[in-house]
Amino acid sequence: MPLQTMSFKTPSHRVSATLAGMTPLSSTLHHNFHSGAQDVRDFAASDLAAQWIPGSWRQSLTDLSYSVTGLWDSLVRALMLVL
């Protein structure tokens, strides 16, 4: 069954469902994963986090969000090659 090109509106972006061969569900998951990582980075940079979390921990959260997102992207690419 061929993938159909389909666009849908998410809270902050328009996402193409066939982006790099992704299905609508995986495209949404991919977007939400990246959006969640950005939320973690935004929180780590906020004044609220600065009041409660030491600077080294906030930097570690930021670094971790980039590492986890990079790992996610690698897994998605690997699965797309295999499947």
Number of other CB atoms surrounding residue 47 within 10 Å: 6
Residue reference for tokens 């992704």: 22
Dist. CA 76–CA 30, nearest whole Å: 9
Tens of pLDDT, residue by residue over 15-24, are 343 345 677 7
What residues make up the domain containing 46? Answer: 32-83
In a domain, 23, yes or no: no
What does pTM read for this prediction?
A: 0.67
pLDDT classification of 14: cutoffs 50, 70, 90: very low
In a domain, 81, yes or no: yes
Rg of the chain in Å (alpha carbons)? 16
Dist. CA 4–CA 34, nearest whole Å: 23
Number of domains in the chain: 1
In a domain, 19, yes or no: no
